Amino acid sequence: MYFHDFNPVFVITFLILWYVLQGTAYYKFFEKAGKEGWKGFVPILNYYIHLEIVGRPKWWVLLLFVPVINFFVGLTMHLDLMKSFGKYTYLDQVLGVVLAPIYMNYIAWSDTKYIDKATEIPKPNKSFGKEWFEAIVFAVFCATFVRWIFMEAYVIPTGSMERSLLVGDFLFVSKAEYGPRTPQTPLQIPLTHQTIWGTEIPSYIPGVSLPSLRLPSLGKVERNDVVVFNYPVNDNYNQRRDGDYHPMDLKTHYIKRCVAIAGETIEIKNTQVYVNGEAQENPPLMQHQYFVRTNENIRERVFENLNVNPHNSVSRHANGFFVHMPKAVAEEFEKLPFVESVTLQLIPETDPERNIFPNATYFRWNRDFYGPLTVPARGMTIEVNEENLAMYGSTISDYEGNDSVEINIDKLTVNGESVSEYTFKKDYYFMMGDNRHASDDSRYWGFVPEDNIVGEASFIWMSYDTNASFINKIRWGRLFNGIE
């Protein structure tokens, strides 16, 4: 199951149900607190009365309209209400949060009484250890919720997106933009991914799996978005120590630029990307590999002055250097008196790469001359023949969620039934790194299924250069920069 699109009927139904359940709970809570029960069904006024009952400032109503902050304010009000009706235990608080507003109705309509404003009720005596334990659990819950619904921090480990994103950039990735996913692997340690921090010990229990649902989103993946996703291929990047592979929601995180969305046709001619036959605007900091021919040694300072990282983007070779850089920087190198020539390292159109996707035997493409290839879209139907199975067979087999798939040259058997055509169940995306000659991307391993999408890279909150001197390790100019 996967809800990719914003579904108005689902959202409206959910909101109405939530409103009714909340209103019925408020009705009884307000009556027990000496207020008029009908006010529990009046939007905004019910929150005002709620704050009055628990003893919090009335202006907190305004904070309920501030994203992220409203979550913490609402959670505090929620827990305060339970305390005002004598529900102090840790179990009550967990059930009140996880099962709200169902559990709130249970408290409201059960044999409970209004005690006093939560802010004026003396705190129950707790041991030092218990108080700290509950505080830590609450903090972990809040962090886990924000990480799941709103934002998560990531770090750039490789140079595949140079210069748009640098190794050592710390990003905040918006989960709300494309809609947060419900956890597919529920039995895992909070705030971990694959392993327990600093160890190789798995942080989850495999074998227990839930359907992956996409909650309503602010938007969809669009062309040129910088996207974080779970690397879809079951290879060494996703392999566990026991030889099996991580579940989908715990596969290795990748970050690339979406260059073509579902239903679009991508083609690369002489490094230029075309979508549906139209040349696309290149990322402003896109790089390729050039050979800088020179008989002299070029000092690191020369590369740094041209904003080229000598550690990640340069390799020495006889009679020169291989350098990953934008075209404009390559033109600056050509002007240097000790540089003989600067040559783009272009693979000829007639030379296919053996590891190119989808199949180098049928499609003799390479990184610089690629396609045309249509990205599968939900509802797109293809005829079953040898060429189409060579192009889309691995996608049908690996990502479509079929119980069984058998491919025999020009024959396709799905769930035991031979078919003459196939209709895709999901949307897919084609991802590429901005460092076009140093990126392991869709040109080599294929499409990204919609359920692997994690979020959109929003902004850089920290950037750390391990190769710089102590004073210059933090790239101050990149802090809080948006991502183009």
The residue-averaged pLDDT of 197-205 equals 88
3 state SS of 342: strand
Beta bridge partners of 266: 275, 373
Give φ, ψ of 362 to 5 degrees: -95, -35
CA atoms in the 13 A half-sphere facing the CB of 242: 8
In this predicted structure, the answer to whether residue 183 has a pLDDT above a threshold of 90 is no
Helix axes 8-32, 102-109, angle to 10 degrees: 20
Could you tell me which residue, 187 or 138, shows the higher pLDDT? 187
Least confident of 6-10, 245-249, 363-367: 6-10
Distance in angstroms (rounded) separating the CA atoms of residues 390 and 385? 9
The residue-averaged pLDDT of 407-431 equals 95
Q: Quote the pTM value.
A: 0.81
Could you tell me which residue, 227 or 166, shows the higher pLDDT? 227
The residue-averaged pLDDT of 332-352 equals 95
pLDDT at res. 70: 83
Other CB atoms within a 10 A radius of the CB of residue 65 amount to 10
CA-CA-CA-CA dihedral for 199, 204, 207, 208, to nearest 10: 180
Other CB atoms within a 10 A radius of the CB of residue 289 amount to 19
Contact (Cβ atoms closer than 8 angstroms) between residue 322 and residue 353: no
pLDDT band at 3 (very low <50, low <70, confident <90, very high): very low
Per DSSP, the chain holds a count of helices (H) and strands (E) of 11, 21
Q: Of 441, 297, 290, 457, whose CA–CA distance to 356 is shortest?
A: 441
pLDDT band at 356 (very low <50, low <70, confident <90, very high): very high
User: 7: which 2 tokens?
Assistant: 């579904």
In this predicted structure, the answer to whether residue 246 has a pLDDT above a threshold of 70 is yes
Distance in angstroms (rounded) separating the CA atoms of residues 54 and 15? 25
What does the mean pLDDT of the chain come to? 89
pLDDT (tens digit per residue) in 17-53: 989 999 999 999 999 999 999 999 999 999 999 999 9
Burial label for 199, CB within 10 Å (0-12, 13-18, 19+), is exposed
CA atoms in the 13 A half-sphere facing the CB of 91: 1
Q: Of 428, 68, 472, whose CA–CA distance to 229 is shortest?
A: 428
Radius of gyration for the chain, computed over Cα atoms and rounded to the nearest angstrom: 28
In this predicted structure, the answer to whether residue 57 has a pLDDT above a threshold of 90 is yes
